[in-house]
């Protein structure tokens, strides 16, 4: 019997994502001027206010207020009627120094012996159902909001859009776990006030989403995925009615509240730790990236069609406490999941420093991950410029999304005789 599965995404202007992006912008600036910085930075955004808090150990000093304002303006909160804008909001910093009790378990005489920054378990997941090895419902949800943001920035074809938005996609699967069709698409987008009555306004928004945005999204997808967009899709566009009041004015935002949007949309599993604002000594982040890197390369190499990788740690301890693999019965090798996990532990060094080194995580690469998912994006090299009134100017060439690189396929195939 067929079944339905749903994933959601939120836009860069969603209050929680505004907070995530500010936290990661601060992290990037700390790492740009001092790559050894230890950072755990949280952000709260609400009507006209930003509160920065957390623990930092760094040799650099930043104008954190200005960094937060730049992020807010870049997202698109630039108008007074939004009741939240980069130029006018208050920014309060409550950031203080990292606890030495925590730091003593991380820093060691040799970097290779660096302990985990916390206990916990992290998961990585990959599936063959999309070209980027991500769950399809989440991938489409991200794309809907990215296209919506493109139209918002252009301001021509759809001129009334504001930054806050959410999307949700429900897909019908066969009993063999193969996508059959898109059943439902939900989009809620913030918008300017209309002069027309509410019914005309809602009809206009629905027509623009269904007739302009969705075809653009569909055109970006492979042909086999395009066929899932049949004429029977049920659309819910701004189902509660008008959505003028939004962003941090409509709902307080906090760092780390969109962990499922950030990862796999409810597929696989999640250990509970958020990413944004944390330097890579925090295995909540770095080990989740390493587990995704392992899972994606394993699926791409043909070990299984779907894989979940779990890794766990004890605070201050170098070696992971466990590595677990689940292939959901899709393994293409004559090995148990436990035997696959044993090979994975030899192929992928999951010690904290080894992860940092392998994935080049002590670089300012994190702001780009803070909206539309940390997983599934295309690896690329970019040049980033950072300026500080206290530390001058830094220009760095960095690799983004290194955990998405398919650079272990041949090694995996050799290890599994594929």
Sequence ranges of the binding site for K(+): 42
Residues contributing to the annotated binding site for Mg(2+): 16
Dihedral-angle region of residue 85 (phi above 0 means left; psi in -120 to 50 means alpha; beta otherwise): beta
Question: Dihedral sign, CA of 355, 357, 358, 360?
Answer: positive
Which residues, 6 or more positions from 114, have their beta carbon under 8 angstroms from its beta carbon?
106, 107, 108, 281, 318, 351, 352, 353, 356
Q: What is the DSSP string of 392-416?
A: EEEEEEEEE-GGG---SHHHHHHHH
Which residues, 6 or more positions from 270, have their beta carbon under 8 angstroms from its beta carbon?
123, 259, 260, 263, 264
- Ordered alpha helix ranges (H), 235-308: 247-250, 259-262, 283-301
Residues contributing to the annotated binding site: 14, 16, 42, 55, 98, 164-166, 242-243, 251, 257-258, 274, 278, 282
Residues contributing to the annotated binding site for ATP: 14, 164-166, 242-243, 251, 257-258, 274, 278
Which among 162, 144, 185 is positioned nearest to 75, based on CA atoms?
162
Distance CA 386, CA 196 (A): 45
Residues contributing to the annotated binding site for L-methionine: 55, 98, 251, 282
């Amino acid at each position: 019997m067929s079944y339905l599965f749903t994933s959601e995404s939120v836009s860069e202007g969603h209050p929680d994502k505004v907070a995530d992006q500010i936290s990661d912008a601060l992290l990037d600036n700390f790492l740009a001027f001092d790559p050894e910085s230890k950072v755990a930075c949280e952000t709260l955004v609400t009507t006209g206010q930003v509160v920065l808090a957390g623990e930092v150990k760094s040799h650099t000093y930043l104008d954190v207020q200005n960094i937060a304002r730049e992020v807010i303006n870049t997202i698109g909160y630039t108008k007074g009627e939004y009741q939240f804008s980069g130029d006018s909001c208050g920014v309060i910093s409550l950031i203080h120094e990292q606890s030495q009790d925590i730091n003593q378990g991380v820093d060691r005489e040799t970097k290779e012996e660096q302990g985990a920054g916390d206990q916990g378990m992290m998961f990585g997941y990959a599936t063959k159902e999309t070209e980027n090895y991500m769950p399809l419902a989440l991938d489409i949800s991200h794309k809907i909001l990215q296209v919506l943001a493109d139209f918002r920035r252009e301001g021509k074809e759809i001129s009334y859009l504001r930054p806050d938005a959410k999307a949700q996609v429900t897909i019908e699967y066969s009993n063999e776990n193969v996508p059959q069709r898109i059943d439902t698409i939900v989009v809620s987008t913030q918008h300017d006030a209309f002069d027309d009555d509410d019914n005309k306004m809602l009809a206009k928004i629905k027509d623009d989403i269904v007739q302009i945005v969705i075809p653009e999204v569909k055109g970006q997808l492979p042909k086999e995925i395009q066929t899932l967009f049949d004429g029977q899709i049920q659309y819910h566009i701004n189902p509660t009615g008008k959505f003028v009041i939004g962003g941090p004015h409509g709902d307080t935002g906090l760092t780390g509240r969109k962990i499922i949007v950030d990862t796999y949309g409810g597929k696989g599993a999640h250990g509970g730790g958020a990413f944004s604002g944390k330097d890579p000594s925090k295995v909540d982040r770095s080990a989740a990236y390493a587990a995704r890197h392992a899972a994606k390369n394993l699926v791409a190499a043909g070990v299984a069609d779907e894989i979940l990788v779990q890794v766990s740690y004890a605070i201050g301890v170098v070696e992971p406490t466990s590595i677990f693999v689940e292939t959901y019965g899709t393994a293409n090798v004559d090995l148990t999941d436990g035997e696959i996990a044993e090979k994975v532990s030899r192929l992928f060094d999951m010690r904290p420093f080894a992860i940092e080194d392998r994935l080049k995580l002590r670089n300012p690469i994190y702001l780009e991950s803070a909206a539309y998912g940390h997983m599934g994006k295309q690896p690329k090299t970019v040049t980033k410029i950072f300026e500080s009134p206290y530390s001058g100017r830094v220009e760095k060439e960095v690799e983004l999304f290194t955990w998405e690189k398919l650079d272990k396929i041949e090694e995996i195939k050799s290890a599994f005789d594929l």
